[in-house]
């Protein structure tokens, strides 16, 4: 692990620490599936910034788009006032590829801001106040998104949050009855990411869609992690043929630059234009450089058929990880879709040790926020077959080492202490 001083000391002292156990790699360069650190190590990145770098790090097409746009103009005016070519072109392209008739895009800077906008939109469009979300869901850390995040330990220190949010168990058809005519919007991840890569049963999302239609609540699908080919389809909702009223995107949307968005139908989105006008604006949302990067990245995803590639490599990786589990032990389940995989180990210490040993073996994997048993695997969708093989060799070595190491794990040891 790269912890060269004094930069690591400065990082610990001056960059706000969000845990006692940062991974602490000192990055000097990243390209494709690789992250290079100050101590001369090369790490195979099986996390991709948590589903951000779907086209790999610093894809040449994305870098070129950033450079070209930076030479034209950077920020020109707050959102929605000027006609900015990269913003308009990207919105139009997203409208073409989005499911159903979600043809209007509102760009933000991040996923949590996109969810804030989506929740406000549901309230304003329906004139209702109540929101429904799911246990184990994650939607971001600003007040509104945190209010619908299904893990009490993260909400409690910041209460009071939004009133009138009901949490239902994920993937439970019976619970959907609780969604009634008083509900403005229902927010859900099609596959829970931070909840431990939980894929719902096939009838869950279609039933949720039907229930929202029956009661007139907007269905908000948070595809911040699952979007842009990650799960084997361009958007995960395509696995179930479900079209949401609002689609929320971020992470891979910007091709490595900060960008979020929520998309909906014109008759819904027009409510942000009136009573009062300018009721939802942002200074930097839809930054021209970020939109140029995102459009270039989407082009790569489509031209190189990366969703299909994710599906193919994902089933291979899943099968190999299952085999590894059978041979070495310590694995309870491998689950997910495409290259959005969770490896559930048999206990939390083993999971922490596995992540630690993976780093020692030169492969970056992570955990999920709501589950201390699940290792998250989300490599770039551009991963080559050789890199997949190398990754598996490293993961095998990491599991072997983790199984024979009985020392208390150093990494992440405090992470879930209070969770
Ligand atoms: N929704 C989901 C499903 C996420 O995974 C995340 C980030 N992990 C967010 C929203 C928040 O996105 P951001 O960190 O860009 O605010």
Q: pLDDT band for position 311 (50/70/90)? A: very high
Tell whether ligand 1 has an atom less than 6 A from the beta carbon of residue 110.
yes
Tell whether ligand 1 has an atom less than 6 A from the beta carbon of residue 187.
no
How many folded domains does the chain comprise?
A: 2
Assigned token pair, 281: 């604006």
Evaluate the omega torsion of the peptide bond into residue 6 and state whether it is cis, within 30 degrees of 0: yes
Tell whether ligand 1 has an atom less than 6 A from the beta carbon of residue 191.
no
pLDDT at residue 207, as a whole number: 98
pLDDT per residue as tens digits for the range 102-146: 999 999 999 999 999 999 999 999 999 999 999 999 999 999 999
Beta bridge partners of 344: 333, 374
pLDDT per residue as tens digits for the range 260-290: 999 999 999 999 999 999 989 999 999 999 9
pLDDT at residue 370, as a whole number: 87
Q: pLDDT band for position 2 (50/70/90)? A: very low
pLDDT reading at 416 higher than 70: no
Whole-number Å distance, alpha carbon 237 to ligand 1 midpoint, is: 17
pLDDT reading at 227 higher than 50: yes
Tell whether ligand 1 has an atom less than 6 A from the beta carbon of residue 140.
yes
pLDDT reading at 418 higher than 50: no
Rounded Cα gap, residues 41 and 21, in angstroms: 20
Beta bridge partners of 249: 261
Assigned token pair, 54: 């779907």
- Residue 41, judged by CB atoms within 10 A of its CB (0-12, 13-18, 19+), counts as middle
Distances (CA, A) of 173 to 169, 204, 206, 237: 9, 6, 10, 17
Within a domain: 273: yes
Distances (CA, A) of 141 to 54, 56, 317: 23, 26, 31
pLDDT reading at 1 higher than 90: no
pLDDT per residue as tens digits for the range 59-95: 999 999 999 999 999 999 999 999 999 999 999 999 9
pLDDT reading at 234 higher than 70: yes
Rounded Cα gap, residues 29 and 14, in angstroms: 22
Q: Which of 235, 270, 303 is the last residue of a domain?
A: 303
pLDDT reading at 362 higher than 90: yes
Q: Could you tell me how many residues make up the chain?
A: 419
C-alpha gyration radius of the chain:
21
Co-location of 259 and 371 in the same domain? no
pLDDT reading at 419 higher than 70: no
Q: Which of 248, 268, 303 is the last residue of a domain?
A: 303
Co-location of 267 and 388 in the same domain? no
Q: pLDDT band for position 3 (50/70/90)? A: low
Q: Which domain holds residue 260?
A: 60-303
pLDDT (average), residues 19-42 = 95
Are 187 and 140 a contacting pair, CB within 8 Å?
A: no
Co-location of 334 and 232 in the same domain? no
pLDDT at residue 411, as a whole number: 56
Q: Which atom of ligand 1 is nearest to the CA of 112?
A: 16
pLDDT per residue as tens digits for the range 140-165: 999 999 999 999 999 999 999 999 99
Provide the percentage of residues in the chain whose pLDDT is more than 70.
96
Q: Atom 13, ligand 1: which residue's CA is nearest?
A: 111
CATH code assigned at 50: 3.90.1150.10
Co-location of 366 and 381 in the same domain? yes
Mean pLDDT of the chain: 95
């Amino acid at each position: 692990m790269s912890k060269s001083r004094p930069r690591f000391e400065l990082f610990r002292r001056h960059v706000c620490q969000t845990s006692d156990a940062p991974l602490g790699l000192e990055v000097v360069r990243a390209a494709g599936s690789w992250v290079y650190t100050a101590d001369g190590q090369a790490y195979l990145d099986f996390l991709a910034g948590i589903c951000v770098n779907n086209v790999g790090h610093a894809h040449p097409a994305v870098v070129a788009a950033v450079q070209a746009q930076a030479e034209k103009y950077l920020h020109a005016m707050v959102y929605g006032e000027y006609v900015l070519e990269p913003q308009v072109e990207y919105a139009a392209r997203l409208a073409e590829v989005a499911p159903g008739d979600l043809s209007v895009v509102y760009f933000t800077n991040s996923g949590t801001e996109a969810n804030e906008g989506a929740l406000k939109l549901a309230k304003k469009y329906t004139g209702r106040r109540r929101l429904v979300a799911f246990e184990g869901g994650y939607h971001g850390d600003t007040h509104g998104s945190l209010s619908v995040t299904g893990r009490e330990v993260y909400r409690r220190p910041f209460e009071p949050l939004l009133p009138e949010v009901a949490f239902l168990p994920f993937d439970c058809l019976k619970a959907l009855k609780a969604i009634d005519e008083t509900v403005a919007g229902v927010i859900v991840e099609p596959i829970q990411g931070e909840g431990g890569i939980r894929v719902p049963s096939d009838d869950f999302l279609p039933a949720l869609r039907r229930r929202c239609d029956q009661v007139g609540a907007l269905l908000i699908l948070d595809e911040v992690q699952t979007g842009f080919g990650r799960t084997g389809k361009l958007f995960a909702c395509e696995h179930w043929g479900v079209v949401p009223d609002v689609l929320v995107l971020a992470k891979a949307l910007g091709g490595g630059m900060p960008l979020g968005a929520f998309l909906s139908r014109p008759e819904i989105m027009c409510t942000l234009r009136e009573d009062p006008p300018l009721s939802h604006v942002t200074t930097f949302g839809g930054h021209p450089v970020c939109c140029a990067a995102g459009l270039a990245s989407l082009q790569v995803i489509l031209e190189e058929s990366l969703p299909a590639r994710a599906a193919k490599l994902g089933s291979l990786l899943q099968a190999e990880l299952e085999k590894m589990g059978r041979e070495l032990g310590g694995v309870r389940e491998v689950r997910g879709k495409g290259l959005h995989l969770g490896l559930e180990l048999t206990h939390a210490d083993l999971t922490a040790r596995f992540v630690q040993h993976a780093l020692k073996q030169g492969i970056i994997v992570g955990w999920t926020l709501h589950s201390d048993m699940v290792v998250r695997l989300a490599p770039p969708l551009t991963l080559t077959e050789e890199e997949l093989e190398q990754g598996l060799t490293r993961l095998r070595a990491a599991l072997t080492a983790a199984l024979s190491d009985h020392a208390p794990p150093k990494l992440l040891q405090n992470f879930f202490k209070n969770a």
